[in-house]
Structure 1
Amino acid sequence: MVRKWAGRAILVYILYVAVMYWYIFYGADTGIPDALRGTAADPATFLNARELKLSEEYSGLRNFIFFVSTPFEWLLYFFILLFGISRAIEKSALAVSRRKVIQTGIYLFWLSIISYMALFPISFIGYRLSKSYHISTQSFTSWMKDGIIEFWVNFGMMFIIVSVLYWLMKKSVKKWWLYAWMLSIPFTLFMMFVQPVLIDPLYNEFYPLKNKELETEILSLASQAQIPAEHVYEVNMAEKTNSLNAYVTGIGSNSRIVLWDTTLNKLKEDEILFIMAHEMAHYVEKHIYFGIAGYLGLTLIGLWLTSKIMNYIIKRWGHLLKVHSVGSISSLPLFLLITAMLLFASSPLSNVVSRYEETRADRYAIEMTGDKESAITTFQELTRSGLSQVNPPFLVKWLRYSHPTMLERISTIEKADTKDD
């Protein structure tokens, strides 16, 4: 029976990979609509022939890796259950100590190691791909260091979450999902508050913007938007990537506007001011807080669905998966499998909301700066530096893009009215 289920799972995965390969490299339409040919949104007007070729190649390969790796992780959790690996780890943890917290720590450590080792080849392929296309400038040693830091950060957070979660499962078989969601609210807010000052600095060095004249210009924009900002932060990303980025992070007194140094090095001042105005829009329109509310709402639905699905699967196929109860720590791969699939299924909805907010932020930035030209050249340079696909395949957009496509952003800006028009 185990071989039969494993064979079916592998066959389905292989067929899926074949279909996605055909779709991404042959079946999807990524051409530029005739109405936009020759406009600023047409990559042929701002990328040379080599850049056009590389952007199509790199984007296609990167998208293919995403669509291959996502169900591969699901397959991994399924096999950990099917072949009794989860049950074996649980038994070894029970043999070491009678204390639940120690048992959970031991189990989670070995599950994390197995997952890390199984997914490492895909991560390494992604790293080598970005290096070969000169997107990444990061050394292998630095990349491994970041990976190890990420492993332990994730392990620490998962240890807290899993310990509390399985304690709740044992205390309340029917309503653990509700209590888990209630506890997730303060935990989520706390993590967002400490992220900029405790977690992000583990990977990179953050410091106030060195260019004080530019900082004055940015703070002047912040003052116009009635944003109580004292500093704009710069982060040293040039040693890791050639891509450009800026973002808003944190909440409350720890909220920050952050610029990558690559952005500062490659963009003109007017282009940087447009980006800053865009990021300020997220603060002004409270997108971070709407995002938190949306995340918590989806978490509530997700935990409820997870509890229902886990109960059904364990009742129907628990003997096959070597899991006898929801409250057994050996059910964790099943929990991770279900939540990962639900998260993937919800991504089109969350991406639609995010793209709407990003479109609002673009519009706000144009109204604030009155500079359509800088907005257009900014997005053109972002496309060039990241070898981004201007018009990605439909499935890629709906499942991966939290921002509008560059084709949409540039064409929308061209049509926009500004105070200088």
Structure 2
Amino acid sequence: MRKAVSWSLFMYVCFGLFIYWYLFYGTSADIPEAYKGTSADPATFMNARELMLSQEFSRTKYLLFFLATPFEWLVLFLILVLGISKRFEDSAKLITRLRVGQVAIYFFYLSLVTTVLALPFKWMGYQVSKSYGISTQTLASWFKDIVIDFWVNFGIMLFVVATLMWLIRKSEKRWWFHAWALSVPFTIFLTFIQPVVLDPLYNDFQPLQNQELKQKILSLASEADIPADNVYEVNMSEKTKSLNAYVTGIGSNSRIVLWDTTLKQLSENEILFIMAHEMAHYVKKHIYWAVASSIAISFVGLYLIHRILQFIIAKWGGVLNIRTLASLSVLPLFFLVSSVLSFAVSPAENYVSRMEERVSDQYAMEMTEDKKAAVETFQDLSKTSLSQVNPPGLVKLFLYTHPTMLERITYLEEYGKK
């Protein structure tokens, strides 16, 4: 156990030092010489202070991401090898004999510990955003979101975990397939209710107040054969200065949403370009493809988790204090393996997402035919979020679901020239 703890801590520190060196010394965010002086060059639309702040803020934000993810793995691993998970299970069994009750008590312990231990990274992220003028959220509002997030995740995941443990007890060999079959309607259900049930827990949504702009957006929707009769705005200015807009939900619960920061800081033509981009996701059925790919990936993922859990328990079950796959103590290992697999597949998922975003940019250009507004939109997005125009390769691989601003602006500049 001591060896396992020592090596895990040593590997985490080494990884942290490598990431710090990579982000601050081992790579450069400068744009290629060929693009200097063009509209993609941040020096043409940011002043010297904004350029400096964008580099500092982006690197710090990336560092926190790359440190937080393996820290989550480290916490789950230590909960196992230090016997904490076993103590949680024993405590739950002492409190009640009811299996569902044991699952609920155990999972509450596990959720509380992991949430509390993850708070320092969330706190640092909040403080960094505040110090660089990105976040406008009060401490009380930030803490409220943390509490809401905890209980929403706990409620959803308790249902998932209770079902999972029941399936494992019923069949240790086929549980993964039954879990996948049940996940299909559950995934569709969550996607359907998210816009009208989950999102309003965090922010206030209302119909777009600017009626003239609303009609122009709905005209775009009509041109794209989108059966939309409303556009929503959300009061994100209470939390951030960043800009955003999105399409979420499926079927009758689909929503086109604009952040109020976007309404306040962008021109009408820029907003229309963003809206055309978001409508492209609906027209090209990207949301449905995302749901379908999630279902397909979960099939492969659950099978791999099943095989990996069997192997680990057979080889190191004693060290990890896991007797059988059906014991509650297996849950940290389940979350650890699924998180590692999710992280490993994220570059492929991000690549597909970037392709969809490129298609949406092209669609928006075809609809609006306003290259100037499109370029200025991405420049404004870079300035308000203090994001790097040309991030390091490792960052793009694991974090970027959209093309980099360098790629998006240069694409727009080349659009229509061929």
Do both proteins adopt the same fold according to a TM-score greater than 0.5, normalized to the shorter chain? yes
Q: Which residue of 2 aligns with 1:254?
A: 253
Q: After superposition, where does 1:10-409 map in structure 2 within 5 Å?
A: 10-409=9-408
Give the counterpart letter for 2:65 in structure 1.
F
Secondary structure at the counterpart of residue 29 of structure 1: coil
Secondary structure at the counterpart of residue 38 of structure 2: coil
**How far, CA to CA, are the matches of 1:305 and 1:245 in structure 2?**
36
- Count of residue correspondences: 418
Give the counterpart letter for 2:73 in structure 1.
W
Give the counterpart letter for 2:17 in structure 1.
A
Give the counterpart letter for 1:352 in structure 2.
Y
**How far, CA to CA, are the matches of 1:24 and 1:39 in structure 2?**
25
**How far, CA to CA, are the matches of 1:358 and 1:7 in structure 2?**
43
Secondary structure at the counterpart of residue 238 of structure 1: helix
- In structure 1, runs of 5+ residues without a counterpart are none
- In structure 2, runs of 5+ residues without a counterpart are none
Give the counterpart letter for 1:166 in structure 2.
M
**How far, CA to CA, are the matches of 2:389 and 2:25 in structure 1?**
17
Q: Deviations over 1:202-249 (max 9, x none)?
A: 110001100000000000000000000000010000010000000011
Q: Deviations over 1:322-380 (max 9, x none)?
A: 00111111100000000000000000000000000000000000000000100000000
Secondary structure at the counterpart of residue 57 of structure 1: helix
| TM-score, normalization by structure 1 | 0.99
Q: Deviations over 1:49-98 (max 9, x none)?
A: 00000000000000000000110000000000000000000000011111
**How far, CA to CA, are the matches of 1:288 and 1:41 in structure 2?**
29
**How far, CA to CA, are the matches of 2:137 and 2:340 in structure 1?**
31
Give the counterpart letter for 1:75 in structure 2.
L
**How far, CA to CA, are the matches of 2:172 and 2:348 in structure 1?**
30
Q: Deviations over 1:79-138 (max 9, x none)?
A: 000000000000000111111111111001010110011110111000000000000000
Give the counterpart letter for 2:321 in structure 1.
K
**How far, CA to CA, are the matches of 1:376 and 1:33 in structure 2?**
18
Q: Percent identity?
A: 55
Secondary structure at the counterpart of residue 173 of structure 1: coil
Give the counterpart letter for 1:18 in structure 2.
L
CA-based RMSD: 0.8
**How far, CA to CA, are the matches of 2:35 and 2:141 in structure 1?**
42
Q: Deviations over 1:130-169 (max 9, x none)?
A: 0000000000000000000000000001100000001000
49-58 or 290-299: bigger deviation: 290-299
Give the counterpart letter for 1:199 in structure 2.
L
Give the counterpart letter for 1:371 in structure 2.
D
Q: Deviations over 1:239-280 (max 9, x none)?
A: 100000000111110000100000000000000000000000
Give, in angstroms, the shift of residue 29 of structure 1. Answer: 2.5
